[in-house]
A and B are shown apart, each in its own frame.
Chain A
């Protein structure tokens, strides 16, 4: 069931209790970053240790786990993390969003809307949305305490003054429950609206920076913007070459050295499911579609 010599889901019980206490506080204060005594994991910091610690503290033998990186189940780091939990917790894994009870993700939210009872665990490199504007933790902590987010608004306003628009395209800051400005992790801003009032529970783990935070179901998550410059998510203006989807986030694949580009769904499960249902894009049958076609 689990790895000989190691506890269920790798972490010792005392560590799990510490993380679980932090998770409950995080859920009680949506968007607030709870400091926790992050442990060294058998994976390097920056490679998903925060998400892994959250998953390890939450997962049970009846769970079905999906792990994605860049929206794909087959990227090397996703494979590595999925294998880690298959080995240490003996859980069933899946590539299907609808089958998963826990989804650990780096940089994407699945296209298939999440449902009540599902838990989305984000890997977070930098949990502090204000860090690029103010490197000092003592300062940013005070800003959150006072809900003093002027610095962020000034940055966004300067963007508009200079470029005519907000020039953030990923890790686009959000206001959670009308109180805490939060980093959604480096998901494309395209995914931000999916966080708003999602029926799923969203948990965030930053291992190196030692912070845990959460967005409970049905919680307001607004992307920061101005009335005259509303939030605008970006995606490539093309349909998916493989499945023809027009509403999914796309990866741009360079297919030759003459400027040839192919746009394909970043969410591999979404694309595969659509193709299985008979949807075809202009480049259907391309090698990228995999051995199945």
Chain B
């Protein structure tokens, strides 16, 4: 029985046992190592870290294994773990201008200081299934550039800044940013809060929202000013030390989207920016986020808010897949008490409607 009147505890234990068997699959196939997931399913690990809001490749790989590759479930596992961790301190803002670049492209300039670096990308692969991967075919070594990448690799937005053509970043740089995980989301939301929300947001949702702005829902005219991926140092500045120390590196993808903007009642014509940042290598997420970030600036730019992607309550309230997945799936829980109330009500309303139909007829007959 679905809701066992007795024996709920036994049913749950049995369900967990069946789940463990299903997760392991055929025991004659070698078990998947967490290190294999971490090394060979890197994009899955990146996505789970981003949506799980925790940078830890090993734990993300463990979550993927535990969730049988269900990445939303894995992100949830990571979040539930993260929420119990004590906080020692907040890191300083990372400086992506000082990124150790693995890939960097700009669609707005043919060439620019630091150059275009293609790096690892699926962009120009032909999407042909590779039977070679069915076997353990050896991977030939990749050619390496003779020279290391130019350490001075200015960000494209900074180039436009010099000319005064792009709207300066809004917001108070020195103000303590709000923290979505410490204070509940309230509206109107500051940009820092919106970006935090989008960074944790579901990749599919953010992608679709960004896409909608390109198709006319929000009237965006974006250029990929720059997409860069690489590692950046994370620093903390403990109060007792009085100076910053590096605690490690993280890999991030950053997108600076440059948008045409014809001006509004309050703003003169200029370029505007949209910003996206994701843990690991995740260009789709970073670009989608940059499009949505720009769309959500409509209110500040004096533009009419007409499209879904411009509507901050709509976007920010529905971006989190841990929330969305939970609430959609909670419909599996028993609701028979409420359903019973509805049954009684519908029966009553129908009976009353039938009476109303019958009564005029009776009156007519009398």
A and B touch in the complex (CB under 8 A): yes
Contact call A210/B80, Cβ cutoff below 8 A: no
Report the nearest B residue to A249, measured CB to CB: B337
Q: A164–B188 Cα gap in the complex (Å)? A: 40
Q: Which residues of B contact A273 (CB under 8 A)?
A: none
Question: Knowing A35-B184, A138-B187 touch, does A170 contact B341 (C-beta < 8 A)?
Answer: yes
Asked if B158 is at the interface (CB within 8 A of a chain A CB), the reply is no
Contact call B344/A72, Cβ cutoff below 8 A: no
| Chain A, range 189-227, C-beta contacts under 8 Å to B | 189-190, 208, 210-211
* Complex interface bits, B283-300 against A, C-beta within 8 A gives 1, otherwise 0: 000000000000000000
Q: A43–B4 Cα gap in the complex (Å)? A: 20
Q: Which of B81-89, B114-122, B146-154 contacts A (4 or more CB under 8 A)?
A: B81-89
Q: A229–B123 Cα gap in the complex (Å)? A: 66
Question: Knowing A36-B184, A235-B344 touch, does A290 contact B338 (C-beta < 8 A)?
Answer: no
Q: Which residues of A contact B80 (CB under 8 A)?
A: 40-42
Contact call B327/A46, Cβ cutoff below 8 A: yes
Q: Which residues of B contact A210 (CB under 8 A)?
A: 184-185
| Chain A, range 151-184, C-beta contacts under 8 Å to B | 163-165, 167, 169-171
Scoring A74, A189, A266 by chain B CB atoms within 10 A of each residue's CB, the highest score goes to A74
Q: Which residues of A contact B343 (CB under 8 A)?
A: 252
Q: A279–B185 Cα gap in the complex (Å)? A: 52
Contact call A39/B83, Cβ cutoff below 8 A: yes
Contact call B313/A12, Cβ cutoff below 8 A: no
Q: Which of B7-15, B222-230, B249-257 contacts A (4 or more CB under 8 A)?
A: B7-15
Q: Name the prevailing secondary structure of the A interface residues.
A: loop
Q: A186–B9 Cα gap in the complex (Å)? A: 25
Point out the residue from B317, B322, B329, B345 that lies within 8 Å of A167, measured CB to CB. B345
Q: Which residues of A contact B340 (CB under 8 A)?
A: 188, 236, 249-252, 266
Contact call A169/B337, Cβ cutoff below 8 A: no
Contact call B9/A12, Cβ cutoff below 8 A: no
* Complex interface bits, B84-116 against A, C-beta within 8 A gives 1, otherwise 0: 101100000000000000000000000000000
* Complex interface bits, A1-30 against B, C-beta within 8 A gives 1, otherwise 0: 000001100111011001000000000000
* Complex interface bits, B339-364 against A, C-beta within 8 A gives 1, otherwise 0: 01111110011001000000000000
Report the nearest A residue to B356, measured CB to CB: A164
Q: Which residues of A contact B84 (CB under 8 A)?
A: 6-7, 10-12
Contact call A107/B337, Cβ cutoff below 8 A: yes
* Smallest beta-carbon distance A86→chain B, Å: 11
Point out the residue from B82, B327, B337 that lies within 8 Å of A188, measured CB to CB. B337
Contact call A234/B344, Cβ cutoff below 8 A: yes
Contact call B79/A40, Cβ cutoff below 8 A: yes
Question: Knowing A252-B340, A290-B6 touch, does A75 contact B184 (C-beta < 8 A)?
Answer: no
* Smallest beta-carbon distance A75→chain B, Å: 5
Question: Knowing A38-B184, A137-B187, A167-B345 touch, does A71 contact B79 (C-beta < 8 A)?
Answer: no
Scoring B8, B76, B87 by chain A CB atoms within 10 A of each residue's CB, the highest score goes to B8
Contact call A170/B76, Cβ cutoff below 8 A: no
Point out the residue from A44, A136, A137 that lies within 8 Å of B325, measured CB to CB. A44
| Chain A, range 107-125, C-beta contacts under 8 Å to B | 107-108, 125
* Smallest beta-carbon distance A20→chain B, Å: 15
Q: Which residues of B contact A71 (CB under 8 A)?
A: 337
Asked if A100 is at the interface (CB within 8 A of a chain B CB), the reply is no
Contact call A69/B341, Cβ cutoff below 8 A: no
Q: Which residues of A contact B317 (CB under 8 A)?
A: 137
Report the nearest B residue to A108, measured CB to CB: B337
* Smallest beta-carbon distance B324→chain A, Å: 8
Asked if B334 is at the interface (CB within 8 A of a chain A CB), the reply is yes
Q: Which residues of A contact B330 (CB under 8 A)?
A: 44-47, 125
Contact call A75/B334, Cβ cutoff below 8 A: yes
* Smallest beta-carbon distance B10→chain A, Å: 9
- Interface range on chain A (Cβ under 8 Å from partner): 35 or more
Q: Which residues of B contact A76 (CB under 8 A)?
A: 3-4, 8, 11-12
Q: A288–B3 Cα gap in the complex (Å)? A: 11
Q: A37–B180 Cα gap in the complex (Å)? A: 8
Contact call B3/A75, Cβ cutoff below 8 A: yes
Q: Which residues of A contact B177 (CB under 8 A)?
A: none
* Complex interface bits, A77-102 against B, C-beta within 8 A gives 1, otherwise 0: 11110010000000000000000000
Report the nearest A residue to B311, measured CB to CB: A136
* Smallest beta-carbon distance A271→chain B, Å: 11
Asked if A291 is at the interface (CB within 8 A of a chain B CB), the reply is yes
* Smallest beta-carbon distance B181→chain A, Å: 7
* Smallest beta-carbon distance A293→chain B, Å: 11
* Smallest beta-carbon distance A225→chain B, Å: 15
Asked if A104 is at the interface (CB within 8 A of a chain B CB), the reply is no
* Smallest beta-carbon distance B358→chain A, Å: 15
Question: Knowing A6-B84, A79-B8 touch, does A169 contact B184 (C-beta < 8 A)?
Answer: no
Q: Which residues of B contact A186 (CB under 8 A)?
A: 335, 337-338
* Smallest beta-carbon distance B347→chain A, Å: 9
Contact call A45/B345, Cβ cutoff below 8 A: no
Residues of B within 8 A of A (CB): 3-9, 11-12, 76, 79-80, 82-84, 86-87, 181-188, 313, 317, 322-323, 325-330, 333-338, 340-345, 348-349, 352
The 25 listed contacts between A and B (C-beta, < 8 Å) are A11-B84, A40-B80, A41-B83, A44-B325, A44-B326, A45-B330, A46-B326, A69-B334, A75-B334, A76-B4, A79-B9, A79-B12, A137-B186, A165-B352, A170-B341, A170-B342, A186-B337, A188-B341, A234-B348, A235-B341, A236-B340, A249-B340, A251-B340, A266-B340, A290-B6
